[in-house]
Amino acid sequence: MDKHLNKIPMLLSQKELRDGRRYKQKDIAHGTGLSVSVVSRIMNDRTIGGMTYATAKAFAKWLGVPMEELADSEIDEDEGE
């Protein structure tokens, strides 16, 4: 996946406002089915260049948004499944 601006932290803030709670990385890991280390790396990276399609799909589903909203440009389904 090419490097594109990571919008996941912003989308997480919006989810927290909607849900009326704060999410810890272990909550996100449990909700997405990803490891805490993967969640940590993604939440602390300004870009999503190392994220696989499957990881992006898991985040999008948990956040309740289309995958296209995770980054500042389209995520390529062919990369990193």
> pLDDT (tens digit, 9 = 90+) per residue, 36-71?
999 998 888 776 777 888 998 999 999 999 988 887
Q: Predicted confidence band at 80 (pLDDT cuts at 50, 70, 90)?
A: very low
- Ordered by start, the domain boundaries in the chain are 8-63
Distance of alpha carbon 39 from alpha carbon 74, whole angstroms: 21
For residue 34, give both structure tokens: 């990803």
pTM of structure: 0.78
Distance of alpha carbon 75 from alpha carbon 20, whole angstroms: 29
In the 8-state DSSP scheme, what is residue 3? Answer: -
Q: Predicted confidence band at 81 (pLDDT cuts at 50, 70, 90)?
A: very low
